[in-house]
Amino acid sequence: MNWKKLIGKIGIGAVGVCCGACDSGDIYPDEGNEGNVRKIETVCVLEHTETIPKARERKLMWAAFATKDDLQPLRSERITSASAGGSTAVTLTQVPKEATYVALVLTDQTSRVLHVFYGQEITAGTADLKLNAGKVDLVSFDRVQHQLFNQSCLQCHMSGNASAGLVLEENSSYAAIVGRPAQTAPDRMIVQPGDTLQSEMYLRLNDTEDFHSKFTTLKDDDISLLSVWIQAGAIK
């Protein structure tokens, strides 16, 4: 038996040892290592598909993670459009066997998770899987918190020294904005359910004269999410 065959027999166990040190591609094929990966088919029915991000700074994707708390996916498949009310099928291929969590997530452009819409723990292994997430509403207050407030507002709207007394931290933000008169425009609410044009927050982020509209972290997709959430009733 020559040394190539021997390494072939030792198999995948040797790959880890060799990684980085060896570069002979003919012994370790780059892809298609059938013994190490699995395929995961997903299906879901998405609501509020108009809030699927279009810009590259935000991504809607199905992704597989090593653990539930990981912020970086091992494998992912982006969704750029879907038919409202119809079923959306996405297949993750080549998912490494150590993945133990599969989720429909929103990420930033570096694929770091900002928000989880649906998640399912799975047993590590190589058996192919099918997941049915059922109905998933892409609009929720949690998503507004994670995608908009946490990314762009906390620098100035944190308890202790909040600008205009407005605290946008998780757990206090909803009560601070919905049906609360704006300090700077007392005839309007900060958020008026069902009416963006009476909602001071929406008007500020849209007003090109207001410094709020100029934050580099603030994306058009974030403002349209806020708009759809308010129009849909600003539900918690």
Enumerate binding residues for ligand HEC (CB under 6 A).
148, 152-153, 155-157, 163-164, 166, 182-185, 190, 200-201, 204-205, 212, 215, 218
The minimum distance between CB 117 and ligand HEC, in angstroms, equals: 21
Cα separation, 129 vs 27, in Å, equals 29
The minimum distance between CB 52 and ligand HEC, in angstroms, equals: 20
Which CB, 17 or 164, lies closer to ligand HEC?
Answer: 164
Task: Give the residue among 126, 120, 100 at the shortest CA–CA distance from 38.
Answer: 126
Task: Give the residue among 231, 58, 51, 68 at the shortest CA–CA distance from 152.
Answer: 58
Report the residue count for the chain.
Answer: 236
Give residue for tokens 């970086």: 72
The minimum distance between CB 205 and ligand HEC, in angstroms, equals: 6
Task: Give the residue among 156, 66, 148 at the shortest CA–CA distance from 106.
Answer: 148
The minimum distance between CB 156 and ligand HEC, in angstroms, equals: 3
Task: Give the residue among 137, 118, 42, 44 at the shortest CA–CA distance from 86.
Answer: 44
Which CB, 75 or 219, lies closer to ligand HEC?
Answer: 219
95 — phi, psi (to 5°)?
A: -75, 125
Which CB, 99 or 225, lies closer to ligand HEC?
Answer: 225
The minimum distance between CB 206 and ligand HEC, in angstroms, equals: 11
Record the tokens describing residue 102, joined without a space: 């599969």
The minimum distance between CB 80 and ligand HEC, in angstroms, equals: 24
Which CB, 42 or 222, lies closer to ligand HEC?
Answer: 222
Which CB, 46 or 201, lies closer to ligand HEC?
Answer: 201
Cβ–Cβ under 8 Å, residues 215 and 57: no
Task: Give the residue among 139, 62, 60 at the shortest CA–CA distance from 103.
Answer: 62
Which CB, 88 or 152, lies closer to ligand HEC?
Answer: 152
The minimum distance between CB 175 and ligand HEC, in angstroms, equals: 13
Which CB, 79 or 153, lies closer to ligand HEC?
Answer: 153
Q: Which residues of 168-188 are buried (b: 16+ CB within 10 A; e: fewer)?
A: bbeeebbebbbeeebeeeeeb
Burial of residue 9 (CB within 10 Å: 0-12, 13-18, 19+) is exposed
